[in-house]
Amino acid sequence: MKLMSALLATLLLAGPAWAEEAKKEGEAEAPKVAYVNLTPALVGNYGAGAKLKYFKADISLQTGGPEVAKKVEYHEPLIRNQLIMLFSQQTDDSLNGVENKEKLRQEALKEVQQVLNTEEGAPLVDDLLFNNLIIQP
């Protein structure tokens, strides 16, 4: 009986330590991800012609963690400028359809990574997400 209670006490005391070890291992493996939301949304004109056409894009940038996100936020004005310039060069054809929007997303990601590579020496942004993309032709 004493052996059983000693074993039970050992398991109860060792349980939290074992759980903490497993948690620490899990934390080390969990990827660090942080998102930078470009707020307010990007709004502007696109295309050529007599009629004005508008876009509105809510964009989030996926980074490797909070420290990287701070660096990206520091360069947000330049990133916003480059993205607005990219969007303003689009046409109705380049903004219609899922495939074309995916191409635009990839171009925007490359543009952001190029800006950060020039300014910080590394791309820093892993992905670019359109939270909302509204086109008014």
Q: Residues 2-22: pLDDT tens digits?
A: 555 554 555 555 555 555 555
* pLDDT of 44 higher than 80: yes
As for how many domains the chain has, the answer is: 2
State whether 39 and 61 are in the same domain.
yes
* pLDDT of 120 higher than 90: yes
Q: What is the pLDDT of residues 53-112, one digit of tens each?
A: 999 999 999 999 999 999 999 999 999 999 999 999 999 888 888 999 999 999 999 999
Token pair listed for 86? 């990219």
User: Domain range for residue 112?
Assistant: 34-136
State whether 60 and 127 are in the same domain.
yes
Q: How many residues does the chain have?
A: 137
What pLDDT shows up at residue 1?
A: 56
pTM (predicted TM-score): 0.75
Burial class (CB in 10 A: 0-12, 13-18, 19+), 65: exposed
State whether 14 and 44 are in the same domain.
no
